[in-house]
Copies of this chain bind each other. A is one copy, B any other.
Amino acid sequence: MEYVKQRRSIRKYQERDIDQNLLNELLETASRASTMGNLQLYSVVVTRDAEIKKALAPAHFNQPMVFDAPVLLTFCADFHRTSVWCENRKAVPGYDNFLSFLNASIDTLLFAQTFCTLAEEKGLGLCYLGTTIYNPDLIIDTLKLPKLVMPVTTVTLGYPAENPPQTDRLPVEAFVHEEAYHDYTAMDIDRLYAYKEALPENKHFVEINKKETLAQIFTDIRYTKKDNEFMSETYLASMKKQGFLK
């Protein structure tokens, strides 16, 4: 519990490599995570090769950690392996649909997060790359993902070469609802976001970007409607190509 309380994402890594046996032990133990029907609807592609990192980097906006981390893990929703098993066993798989994508994505993320918790406990540092779902086709092509396999998230992994301060979190009452969802009044929002909005680094960020509020940093710069709508179409098209959507 203490490891999780103290955790922070790590974006700078030592040159030190990660032992293959340690990595395999962590991946094996993580596979103890809950999984639908015990089918383990995921795959993970391990990238150590510099050339492949270079090929993947544009999908992640060329963030330096993609090059610098000794290991990249691309976690994929995978109904391909299960479908091949079925086809080899006189069973007709019916997993080329959206629900199966969701089931596999859930399995994948429970596995990925269990892996990350274990890795941090072993002294490794990591960072999730949300960019994985922005440009899936480049990842699919580079890692040669077959139909019914979709990249869901990527983790950069290595021994920490930084010790950044912990970032803030909303108070627990902001995301926990007793018995039913309780909608937020303007006063609730003021109270729940007060600490975040008052942080010097956030105030500075608003100022240098010439914005009025912190929320505008998100809506106007970081996660815009236009980008979101474009990438929604990209991901849905990719899902169709991979066979998860009609």
Contact = CB atoms under 8 A, between A and B. Distances in A.
Contact of A232 (B9, B98, B110): B98
Contacts of A190: 88
Interface stretch (A59-67, A157-165, A180-188): A180-188
A82 to B, nearest CB: 8
Nearest to A118: B1
A91 B46 contact: no
A179 B215 contact: no
Contacts of A44: 175-177
A86 B184 CA distance: 12
A209 interface: no
A34 B157 CA distance: 14
A5 B113 CA distance: 15
The 4 closest A-B pairs by CB, nearest first: A94-B225, A91-B215, A89-B215, A109-B109
Interface of A: 1, 4-5, 7, 9, 24, 27-34, 36-40, 42-49, 52, 76, 78, 81-82, 84-86, 88-95, 97-100, 102-103, 105-106, 109-110, 112-114, 116-118, 121-122, 127-128, 130, 133-134, 142-146, 149, 152-153, 167-170, 172, 174-181, 183-184, 186, 189-190, 193, 212-216, 218-220, 222-226, 228-229, 231-232, 235-236
